[in-house]
Amino acid sequence: MSDLINPHFGTQTESQLQVLNEISAICASIECKFWLRGGWAIDFLLGKVTRPHDDIDLITWIQNREQLEQALAEAGFEQTPVNEQFRGRQSDFRKDDVDITFGYITSTNDGSLIMNGLPEWVWRSDSLLLQSLMLKGITALVLSPRQLLEEKEVYEQIGRKPRPKDEDSKKILHRIIAELN
């Protein structure tokens, strides 16, 4: 895979793509759909690696949690502790120096999509793109550009200070959304 990576990004990007490919195979074997979010989602939307990433952020349905955690553990992923306030909403893992977070979504009684245990944050009805995208030979579903942008804005509203990469991501997402219209 190394010939596919911008040499300026180094082995971290290569390791993350290898781990993502492994997660994709594991999820396919247990029939667990997932969607990329964060920086990797933007890269898949653009069809190219744009920058180094700190981790891999994924979303799946809460009902997949137990089977997913077991399958990842069996494949050598180390489950790492999660802050108490996030325990119902995510599982964190590490493999080959790559940090992975699975966030869990669920549907409410009225059909709204929310993060598990966070009913006040109702997601967009078009959050989950249905078409797989490919990057560097890896196929994945991603969150919609509008959902990704909304997440960046919600983080700011709840007091998370924007990072330079968040501002860059927002500009890219605005451009992607404009091209869709």
The CA distance from 31 to 153, in Å, is 32
Query: Is 10 a residue whose pLDDT tops 90?
Result: no
Beta strands in 28-95 (DSSP E): 35-37, 56-61, 78-80, 90-95
Provide the β-strand partners of residue 95. 98
The CA distance from 136 to 130, in Å, is 20
Q: pLDDT, tens digit, for every residue of 154-168?
A: 776 666 787 888 889
Task: Give the DSSP H/E element, type plus range, for residue 106.
Answer: strand 98-107
- 171: helix, strand or coil: helix
Contact 166, 155 (CB under 8 A): yes
Sequence letter at residue 89: R
pLDDT of residue 1: 42
Nearest CA-CA partner of 22 in 89, 81, 105, 98: 98
- Residue 64's pLDDT band (boundaries 50, 70, 90)? very high
**Measuring CA to CA, how many Å separate 4 from each of 36, 52, 134, 172?**
20, 14, 13, 22
- When the pLDDT of each residue in the chain is averaged and rounded to a whole number, the result is 91
